[in-house]
Amino acid sequence: MKNDYTAFEEVLGYHFKDKSHLDTAFTHKSYANEHGGDEVSYERYEFLGDAILQFVASKELFLKYPEKSEGELTKLRASLVCEYTLSQITRDYGFGEYLYLSHGEELTGGKNRTSILCDLFESVLGAIYLDGGIEEAEKYIDKFLFTDIEHRSTFYDAKSILQEYAQSRGSKVEYILVSATGPEHNKLYEYAASIDGKQYEVGVGHTKKMAEQVAAHKTILALKNTN
């Protein structure tokens, strides 16, 4: 065991019988490569966790919303299991603090990178399944993903929802580029949502569309809180 996972297991509400599953779940491929292939990265656990997440999320939404159509359920699932939602959860609960990265990845902010944090949600899910079975895996998903469906459900359609909100008030939504940083292959965009020239929330993403979607989603939540 590389790390002391006691505090993390308390956060999870699950205690591993075999802690080496957590070592694997937190080992990025850059760390494995840097250590001459002696380490196993989390990629296979992530693959497994992704499949479990899709199945469990589909089942839970199917049972929870009998009135929703297939299209509505698909959109809702997309909001819940997208990179933004999963990375927000792992960021909030400090998953990145346990991550094993190469020296270079760590220096360039890998522990806070959205794509990696999303991976960790799924790799930890895979680890829990391997250690404790499907019932414990479902508990993990329920605890971290299904506790705030109302807020998370708007992400997939955030731009459309904000557009409809503005139009119903005779207003206009625009997305303003705040910054674009980093090399071309790993660009990071920052966009602000603006309604009638008043700037609201800012979103960050590796594509313009993702940054705008994050900004729209955060603006929707902010507007709900003020109304």
Are 107 and 49 in the same domain?
A: yes
Task: Tell me what the mean pLDDT of segment 93-109 comes to.
Answer: 90
Res. 107: pLDDT tops 90: no
> Domain of 123: which CATH number?
1.10.1520.10
> How much is the pLDDT for 181?
87
Residues 49 and 107 in one domain: yes
Shared domain for 114 and 193, answered yes or no, is no
pLDDT, tens digit (0-9, with 9 covering 90-100), for 186-221: 788 999 999 999 999 998 888 888 899 889 988 988
Does 178 share its domain with 207? Answer: yes
Q: First CA to last CA across the chain, in angstroms? A: 49
Catalytic residue among 23, 105, 119, 122: 122
Active site residue 39: no
Is residue 50 annotated as a catalytic residue, yes or no?
Answer: yes
Is residue 63 very low, low, confident or very high in pLDDT (cuts 50, 70, 90)? Answer: very high
Is the same domain home to 169 and 193? yes
Q: Could you count the other beta carbons within 10 Å of the beta carbon of residue 138?
A: 19
Number of domains in the chain: 2
pLDDT interval class at 1 (50, 70, 90): low
pLDDT tens track for 130-170? 999 999 999 999 999 988 777 777 677 788 889 998 999 99
Same-domain check for residues 73 and 107: yes
Same domain, 119 and 190: no
Catalytic residue among 50, 60, 131, 138: 50
Q: Which residue range forms the structural domain that includes residue 96? A: 6-148
Instruction: Assess whether 15 and 116 both reside in one domain.
Output: yes
